[in-house]
Amino acid sequence: MTDSSHARTNIAALWAILALSALTMLWLFWRFPVITSIATVAILAVLGVSARLARLTDTERSDLQGDKQSV
């Protein structure tokens, strides 16, 4: 019984955080549309570049591990 109430509390907290984040972004976009747009594009670009770098480094690591596992 306590596990289900704990899970519901976690889900409620997640929804509250998501709603607060969305409302904050909407307020910022309403108040400062150009700066918010530029910041959003910059943050998404940084996330995209880091995802590509992570994929590249993961591929190199798996290639090295494949050579060591030739038993």
The predicted-structure confidence for 10-54, as pLDDT tens digits, reads as follows 999 999 999 999 999 999 999 999 999 999 999 999 999 999 999
* DSSP secondary structure letters along 7-69: HHHHHHHHHHHHHHHHHHHHHHHHH-HHHHHHHHHHHHHHHHHHHHHHHHHHHHHHHHHHHHT
Predicted pLDDT of residue 44 = 96
Which CA distances in Å does 55 have to 33, 38, 49, 68, 69?
Answer: 33, 26, 10, 20, 21
